[in-house]
Structure 1
Amino acid sequence: MAEVTTSPRTWSPAAAPPHAPHSGGPRWRVVVGSYGFRLTLVVLLALAAAVGILTYGNPAAPGSSGFWVIVRSRFASVGTILVVAFCQGVATVVFHTVTNNRILTPSILGFDALYRVIQTALVFLFGAGTLAATDGLGKIALQSLLMVGFASLLYGWLFTGTKANLHLLLLVGVVLGMGFGSLSTFMQRLLTPSEFDILSARLFGNISASDASYLPWGALVCVVVGTVLWRRRHVLDVVALGRETATSLGVRHQREVLLTLVLVAVLISVSTSMVGPMTFFGFVVAMLTYQVVGDSRHTRTLPMVAAVACATLLGAYFVLRHVFYAAGLVSVIIELAGGLVFLVHLLRKGLR
């Protein structure tokens, strides 16, 4: 029998894959377009803005004792921005999840209007000096408890029984918000011009006037609520599929929606109590996050919205403080831009 011999396979350039010499280009595009790269880039932008706020325009020599004194004095603003950005961004994304609507914002439930009623009632009943006399952690905690208590009573009332309806909850929230707004407007018309001027300064968010003593409390709330939401991120993915689908997959949809709305109320109450109402900021950063991520999984949207919110608010504060010297107008400018983005989004939705 003749012996069959095989020759070893030899490599030649012609046998190489046609795209092998150019594999570096697509690989680089994959890295740039990856979620990790985008998240890292946004975090670096936020860190750069934070360092700029802390160090830019410091009149003392770098490294001197006076330099670090000024840096420490600016930590309150940076810490407040981080807490507020986290609360607004994360609350808006999970609110969009449970409502299955990316146009709504948590302010539709009347938190901003309730905050205005509380501040206006203090001035109306006890005078303008009460605002300054009652400043402190106790007042902030009491305001937050009132907002969360209001939300819990509202949710508990509307979500008990077999006819729980999320749309009814939103409708009641809008009506109560309008009622609170009318009540606060009525009381404001009875104030003296000086009292109204002092009150107006409290009804607009002001990051520059933040108190460093609030930060440990606000940061603790962010850590606790953020941990709870992160541990339930996969449950939120199922809730986003809708009531029927989530129920068929074994998720108690009504309970999960109620728990998530209470956590949203906690985050919004902390943010509002620290700097005042911010209606459209969460909507803007949520829309940016959806565009950057291109994915609905909360494993990606929650970290990204926190990073985008921090980078946006830190960057806006840096530009307005050190370029235009208008740090007190940060919330006003953000609300103006956010309102315009909201209207454009509504118009685009209507034209489709």
Structure 2
Amino acid sequence: MNNKRKIILLAVLAAALTAFYIFWDLGPNWDYSLPRRVLKIIAIIVVGCAIAFATVIFQTVTNNKILTPSILGLDSMYMLIQTAVIFLLGSSHILIVNKNLNFLVTLAIMLIFASLLFKFMFKKNRNIYFLLLIGIIFGTLFGSLSSFMQVLIDPNEFQIIQNKMFASFNNVNTDLLILAIVLMLAAIIYFSRLMKYLDVMSLGRDQAINLGVDYDYVTKRVLIIVTILISISTALIGPITFLGLLVANVAYQFVNSYQHKIILPAAMLISVIALVGGQFIVERIFTFSTTLSVIINFIGGVYFIYLLLKENKSW
């Protein structure tokens, strides 16, 4: 089966699974249930596509298929922002009560942090692996600060923070979803002019430079796009650490191609399939006794260990 047919197969499977999720056991109150399910599916598509897209291009510029954008510390920063606002201002503050304002402020802080980090690192002519090391350090710092404040915080307010620790597609704000779609499409459209460089950059830094690619220029812009997409998905529904790693590597093995015009749509469709299937399991099998991020992170964590053992054998 050629890659074009594989993409069509994934699209058909994603569409069928989506329709199955929307119309399964809709009940007599379909005028109430249907809009909520459609809204949830749109959120799943946005988040799934954003995370898959960001992970694939991030792994290309880092030339490493076991890394995810979460290594930059964005997930930890999201939790630090939410925890700090509740710890300092209280759960009744407008930054918590107003979800639109919370989304915009969180997104802006995450983008400013990443932009300053990238500017500092590339200004000093550091390589990208040094940037990843700094990202790990900041992620650990942000996680420690969050844990420190969570220990001191009021138990009732801690429950609000706890709800933000896990990704949830329930009660997605329509206004936030529209804004997230606009920002995601803008980032992808901007990336389209960089697409032609990604296939060459997957060969490595030295080979890309020898073939005429302005490596640092492209890398900086790709990292900004990655930050925007990950910030959007995290601020919209919460952190899902291992989703990108899972769907990106499954896409590599499924299509077996170096071309990003094939890998990217495959990864996005696999991500949608994984999220829709996972959400169906959470609602129908576990009856909301667990969260989608727990299932995804468990499967992704096991797959991550498998990849590490596989790489170790190849060495």
8 A Cα contact 2:282 2:291, kept in partner = yes
> Which range moved further: 308-317 or 266-275?
308-317
- 1:10-25 alignment runs, 5 A limit: none
What residue number does 1:140 align with? Answer: 103
Answer yes or no: is 1:99 the counterpart of 2:67: no
Is the contact made by 1:148 and 1:269 (CA closer than 8 Å) also made in structure 2?
yes
**1:272 to 2:224 alignment:** no
Aligned to 2:17: 49
Task: For residue 289 of structure 1, report the CA deviation from its aligned partner.
Answer: 0.3
Contact 1:113 1:177 in 2 (8 A): yes
Inter-partner Cα distance in structure 1 for 2:176 and 2:262: 29
Unaligned runs of 5+ in 1: 1-32, 61-65
Do the aligned partners of residues 288 and 91 (structure 1) sit closer, same or farther apart at CA in structure 2, a change above 3 Å counting?
Answer: same
Distance 1:346 1:244 in 2: 25
Describe the superposition over 1:242-272 as per-residue Cα deviations: whole angstroms up to 9, x where unpaired. Answer: 2222222221100100100000000000000
Pair 1:341-2:303 in alignment: yes
Aligned partners of 1:43 and 1:311 also within 8 Å:
no
Contact 1:317 1:327 in 2 (8 A): no
Q: 1:119 to 1:133 in 2, by over 3 A?
A: closer
1:128 deviates by 2.5
CA contact (8 A) 1:278 1:331 kept: yes
- 2:273 is aligned, of 293, 297, 311, to 311
TM-superposed deviation, 1:278: 0.9
Query: In the aligned structure 1, how far is the partner of 2:238 from the partner of 2:87?
Result: 18
Give CA-to-partner distance per residue, 1:180-230, whole Å, 9 cap, x none. Answer: 111111111101222222211111111123222211111112212222223
Q: Percent of counterpart pairs with the same letter?
A: 34
Tell me the TM-score normalized by structure 2. 0.95
Residue 84 (structure 1) aligns with:
47
User: Cα–Cα, structure 1 residues 219 and 344, in superposed 2: closer, same or farther, change >3 Å?
Assistant: same
Q: Deviations over 1:308-335 (max 9, x none)?
A: 1111111211232233322851111111
- Paired with 2:288 and 2:67, the residues of 1 have a C-alpha distance of 30
Looking at structure 1, the residues matched to 138 and 33 of structure 2 have their Cα atoms a distance apart, in angstroms, of 44
Distance 1:116 1:91 in 2: 20
Alpha-carbon separation, structure 2, partners of 1:316 and 1:274:
18
Q: Is the 1:49–1:318 Cα contact (8 Å) retained in structure 2? A: no
Pick from 171, 178, 196: which aligns with 1:209? 171
Partner of 2:144: 182
Of the structure 1 ranges 146-155 and 43-52, higher mean CA displacement relative to structure 2 is found in 43-52
Query: What is the CA deviation profile of residues 15-45 of structure 1, one whole-angstrom value per residue up to 9, with x for unaligned ones?
Result: xxxxxxxxxxxxxxxxxx1112111111111
Instruction: Name the amino acid aligned to 2:11.
Output: V
The 5 Å alignment of 1:30-49 reads: 33-49=1-17
TM-score of the superposed pair, with normalisation by structure 1 = 0.85
Q: Aligned-residue CA RMSD in angstroms?
A: 1.6
Equivalent pair of 1:204/1:332 in contact (CA under 8 Å): yes
Query: Does the 8 A contact of 1:128 with 1:199 survive in 2?
Result: no
- Equivalent residue number for residue 114 of structure 2: 151
Matched residues, number: 314
CA positional deviation for 1:131: 7.3
Matched residues in 2 for 1:322 and 1:100: separation?
Answer: 39
Alpha-carbon contact 1:206-1:328 (below 8 Å) kept = no
Give 1:225's aligned residue.
187
Question: 1:24 aligns to what?
Answer: none
Alpha-carbon distance in structure 1 between the residues aligned to 2:101 and 2:94: 13
The one-letter code sitting in structure 1 at the alignment partner of 2:226 is V
CA contact (8 A) 2:96 2:102 kept: no
**Conserved? CA contact 2:41–2:276, under 8 Å:** yes
The more displaced of 304-313 and 125-134 is 125-134
Q: Is the 8 A contact 1:88 1:271 kept in 2?
A: yes
Unpaired stretches in structure 2, ≥5 consecutive residues: none
Residues in 2 aligned to 1:344 and 1:240: alpha-carbon distance in whole angstroms = 22
Bigger-Rg structure (1/2): 1
Distance 1:182 1:141 in 2: 24
Does residue 281 (structure 1) correspond to residue 281 (structure 2)? The answer is no
